[in-house]
Amino acid sequence: MNKAEFISAVSDAAGLTKVEGAKAIEAVIEVVKKALKKGDTISLVGFGTFIVRKRAARLGRNPRTGAQIKIKASKNPSFKAGKALKDAIN
């Protein structure tokens, strides 16, 4: 499912127009981005948790030359599914 299909499905389920549904989806995405950027976690009971995971700096290899390279530390967004979501899928 791509973003347009997702917006259409959410709009139909909530009884909104596609424009209103798109605004709602965009608002949710922006709130999630801002919260994760601040380092907050977002827990939606029954759905899951959005968190920021920190990756330490490390050494890697350039696959073309085999030379060692330094990979900077980074923060990566992550999602951990809740029990209800896991149960709904299985």
How confident is the model at residue 65, as a pLDDT? 94
Q: What is the pLDDT of residues 37-87, one digit of tens each?
A: 999 999 999 999 999 999 999 999 999 999 999 999 999 999 999 999 999
How confident is the model at residue 82, as a pLDDT? 94
Mean predicted confidence (pLDDT) in 28-34: 95
Q: Which two structure tokens, joined as six digits, stand for 58?
A: 């490390």
Instruction: Write out the CATH class of domain 41-90.
Output: few secondary structures
| Cα distance between residue 57 and residue 52, in whole Å | 16
Q: What are phi and psi of 66, to 5 degrees?
A: 80, 0
What predicted TM-score, i.e. pTM, was given to this entire model?
0.78
Helices 18-38 and 3-14: crossing angle in degrees, nearest 10, is 110
- Locate the domains of the chain by residue range: 1-39, 41-90
